[in-house]
Amino acid sequence: MGFVRKAKAYLHLTKPQVIELLLVTTAPTMMFAAGGMPNLWLILNTMIGGAMAAGASGAFNCYIDREADRKMKRTEKRPLVTGELTDKEALVFAWILAVISIVYLFFLVNPLASALGVVAILLYVVFYSLILKRRTTQNIVWGGLAGCMPVFIAWAAVENRITWAAVVLFLVIFLWTPPHYWPLSMKYAEDYQRAGIPMLGAIASAKSVSVQVVLYAWAMIVCSLLLIPLGGAGWVYTITAIAAGVWFLFHCHKLHHLALEERATSRTAMTVFHGSITYLTVLFIALAIDPFVGDAVLSL
């Protein structure tokens, strides 16, 4: 195997699509925490360190789930399934990347961000991948704690502490995870059943899943509005949080309505899945813009 193909295999091992989604929340959180533009090197170093920590977690997960991945069509192109990487290569790479990420965050960001990076890796690798994933239908709910850690790391990078505003953003992502992931598990229900992984969307009826999706979506949107009194969010964030929330709720309720009529399809579920990504992206873009626009309005 050539160098380029091998490098692509290692990159694939880190689950870059997940890293991309995590980084969407990092820079905006730092801007909001700073009330403007933080030092660009600080943003860059936080994103690099966070990306490496997330990549290490993804690599560990691919190693842990390698046998299940061989039974699922959704994961049939992962490098441990195709044989592009050996189990040993994957495990060594995961450990090296994890250590580098923690050291990088410690020296180029701050010790608190580094410690939170350790917590993020442990949550995803041990708490989710090793303990919860095969034992409970609520695996993605509590396992989703790892996906919330980037906002803590980002906030700590700027303020070197965790405030209530950071907690609100943490909870928004925590509550976002089920309506994001459960519709995906509805589409790949057969995959998860074959692999013996009890994702709620794979073992529960569409009606039951849709109820949970709607409830979590409502809780997420209510929580997002807490940033106004607890974090001092301005009008840009407020209007966006309400508008994007109503739009996403519409799709969640549509899924529930179709599920009640037994007309819900994988296409409907994936509309909610993709909609959740759009919602989170738009919300955090507004979070990044809000401090600048608020200052501009005040100056006028």
Q: Which two tokens stand for residue 6?
A: 């091998």
pLDDT tens by residue, the chain, 300 residues? 688 999 999 999 999 988 888 889 999 999 999 999 999 999 999 999 999 999 999 999 999 999 999 999 889 899 999 999 999 999 999 999 999 999 999 999 999 999 999 999 999 999 999 999 999 998 999 888 999 999 999 999 999 999 999 999 999 999 999 999 999 999 998 999 998 999 998 899 999 999 999 999 999 999 999 999 999 999 999 999 999 999 999 999 999 999 999 888 888 999 999 999 999 999 999 999 999 986 544 443
CATH number of 163-300: 1.20.120
Spatial separation of the C-alpha atoms in residues 282 and 289, rounded to whole Å: 11
Name the architecture of domain 1-161.
Answer: Orthogonal Bundle (1.10)
Q: Which two tokens stand for residue 235?
A: 């009008």
**Residue ranges per structural domain of the chain:** 1-161, 163-300
pLDDT at residue number 23: 82
Give burial (CB, 10 Å; 0-12/13-18/19+) of 228: middle
pLDDT at residue number 3: 85
For the full predicted model, state whether its pTM sits above 0.75: yes
Q: Which two tokens stand for residue 240?
A: 């966006």
Q: First CA to last CA across the chain, in angstroms?
A: 61
Residue by residue, DSSP assigns 212-235 as: HHHHHHHHHHHHHHTHHHHH---H
For residues 220 and 176, is the Cβ–Cβ distance under 8 A? yes
Q: Which two tokens stand for residue 229?
A: 């009194």
pLDDT at residue number 1: 66
For residues 145 and 127, is the Cβ–Cβ distance under 8 A? yes
Pick from 214, 165, 166, 205: which is nearest to 186 by CA?
Answer: 205
